[in-house]
Amino acid sequence: MRECAGALSAGGSSSEQPWQPPSSSGKGFRLPRIQLWDLGGPLAWAYMLGYLAVMLILPISALLAKSSLVPLEQFIARATEPVALSAYYVSFSMAIVAGVINAVFGFLLAWVLVKYEFPGKKWIDAAVDLPFALPTSVAGLTLATVYSEEGVLGSLLMKLGVNVVYTRLGVAVAMVFVSFPFVVRTMQPVLQEMEKEVEEAAWSLGASPWTTFTQVLLPPLLPPLLTGTALAFSRALGEFGSIVIVSSNFPFKDLIAPVLIFQCLEQYDFVGATVIGTVLLLISLVMMVGVNWLQSYAQRFRK
């Protein structure tokens, strides 16, 4: 009886140990370790630099090299032609207007999509990305149909004396349409990561909703808001397909710089197209550097 009890007790104690599958070596089974590729190695840097060189540095360098072949006097004369100056003004002014509009309403749309639950929310969230997938020519045709004299909105605006199609207002509307998803998609992840406890803590300390928004929530949202606005501005500045349809493309009226470049190419004026493209590139680069400086300054000020 004692031997049976000893055997049972030994068996009970052995059953309490965790089971391990057998292996050929007689020891516990272990999964093989997979060594991940060192992303900081020289091969990764070579791939990154090669990709940047092929996709970004070489095209920009080719444009700058071609523009450097133009004599300086001729370059300045072509870059400062009245038609070119008017195209610069229309392009940048309307792109800035589109960026400001998208910054305000894109922020509000992102706030509503994150903070509130309502029927049809998923459909609206999915529709935000529609300008990304929609061809710009189709976008221009859609806007021209809606805002024309026979369109739903166009007929109402015409009664108020507002004409959208074939004006600078139509250029701004097209720029807003193609670029507004950038602000929404930039702000959404940041808003989703913000903790509700921060707002509740501010309320418990006696802060009003407006004070909580301006002093607690808005400072960390400024850098992504500037990023989204800069992306929207860049996308609006480079828009071509939809603006060709909704504008008259007349000089000194609503002609933008990308369309002017296309017109120069149609007339085999490669020098003019190169000069105007270089000016756009340099101005855009300066503005992007300024926006990045504002972002870094805002982050340092917040810290």
- pLDDT tens digits for 225-238? 988 998 899 899 98
For the residues 26-42, what does the mean pLDDT come to?
A: 53
Quote the pLDDT of residue 4.
44
Quote the pLDDT of residue 5.
44
CB 147 within 8 A of CB 165: yes
Percentage of the chain modeled with pLDDT above 90: 35
For the residues 19-29, what does the mean pLDDT come to?
A: 49
How sure is the predictor about 103, in pLDDT bands with cuts at 50, 70 and 90? very high
Quote the pLDDT of residue 38.
52
How sure is the predictor about 303, in pLDDT bands with cuts at 50, 70 and 90? low
For the residues 32-48, what does the mean pLDDT come to?
A: 65
Any idea where the domains of the chain sit in the sequence? 67-302
Quote the pLDDT of residue 172.
94
How sure is the predictor about 206, in pLDDT bands with cuts at 50, 70 and 90? confident
Quote the pLDDT of residue 85.
94
How sure is the predictor about 291, in pLDDT bands with cuts at 50, 70 and 90? confident
67-302, CATH topology level:
MetI-like fold (1.10.3720)
How sure is the predictor about 302, in pLDDT bands with cuts at 50, 70 and 90? low
Average pLDDT of the chain, as a whole number? 82
Say yes or no to pLDDT of 55 above 90.
no
For the residues 158-185, what does the mean pLDDT come to?
A: 91
Say yes or no to pLDDT of 31 above 80.
no
Higher pLDDT, 147 or 201: 147
